[in-house]
């Protein structure tokens, strides 16, 4: 697949780049994408939720009244889950939500996500650029010139650039990442990908 290369003003440079078909031109495998997104979101969960059960409540363990002869129901101690302030039955306990996904499955998921964006025409290739110092307005102007500012754009760089990261950080719904940090969730979450020329070869390395 060939795409035109644009400059930071949103103008065509007259050059084009070939996106590798083995990364951007496969038939998307939806189940792999679902699995990898699920794995990523599960990994973000702390799993520290906890509620106190009957044995962990503070309070007397004295039996409230005798078992028989009162005309009322049988009652144990004040920590009974049926009482207000009592322990909880089968409450949440700390657990690990991580699931395992094979490396081949992860690579297939990334390729599928990139291919889906390419099929939808949501990939823009831009020539490499950088700033001398963080400039949020200038970065916003680039996204507007490329007509992706309202599409939750993800800018993919060849290497980590702190200046560009700081420039993008305060732009609502915009994201930026070096090619080696790409994952299926970030690709699928983005409405459009702005890929720098130097990032294309790095993406191929990450996804193969």
Domains of the chain: 2-32+101-207 (3.40.1370.10), 46-96 (no CATH)
- Given this model, what pLDDT does residue 21 score? 93
Task: Give the number of other CB atoms < 10 A from CB of residue 195.
Answer: 26
- Given this model, what pLDDT does residue 207 score? 86
pTM: 0.84
* Radius of gyration (C-alpha) of the chain in whole angstroms: 27
Of 124, 134, 200, residue with least CA distance to 169:
134
- Cα–Cα dist 166/152, whole Å: 17
Of 89, 77, 83, 80, residue with least CA distance to 51:
89
Residue with tokens 């973000």: 44
Q: What is the pLDDT of residues 171-196, one digit of tens each?
A: 999 999 999 999 999 999 999 999 99
Residue ranges, the chain, pLDDT below 70: none
Reading the block at residue 22, the tokens are 């083995």
């Amino acid at each position: 697949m060939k795409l035109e290369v644009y400059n930071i003003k949103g103008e065509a440079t007259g050059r084009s780049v070939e996106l590798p078909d083995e990364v951007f031109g496969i038939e998307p495998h939806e189940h792999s994408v679902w699995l990898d997104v699920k794995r990523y979101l599960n990994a973000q969960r702390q799993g520290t939720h906890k509620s106190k059960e009957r044995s962990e409540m503070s309070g007397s363990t004295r039996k409230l009244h005798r078992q028989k002869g009162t005309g009322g129901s049988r009652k144990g101690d004040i920590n009974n889950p049926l009482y207000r302030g009592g322990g909880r039955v089968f409450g949440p306990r700390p657990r690990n939500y991580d699931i395992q996904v094979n490396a081949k499955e992860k690579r297939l998921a990334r390729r599928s996500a990139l291919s889906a964006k390419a099929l939808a025409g949501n990939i823009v290739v831009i020539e490499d650029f950088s700033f001398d110092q963080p400039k949020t307005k200038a970065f916003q102007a680039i996204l507007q010139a490329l007509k992706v500012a309202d599409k939750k754009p993800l800018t993919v760089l060849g290497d980590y650039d702190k200046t560009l990261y700081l420039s993008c950080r305060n732009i609502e719904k915009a994201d930026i990442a070096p090619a080696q940090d790409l994952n299926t969730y970030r690709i699928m979450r983005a409405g459009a990908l702005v890929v720098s020329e130097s990032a294309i070869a790095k993406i191929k390395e990450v996804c193969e």
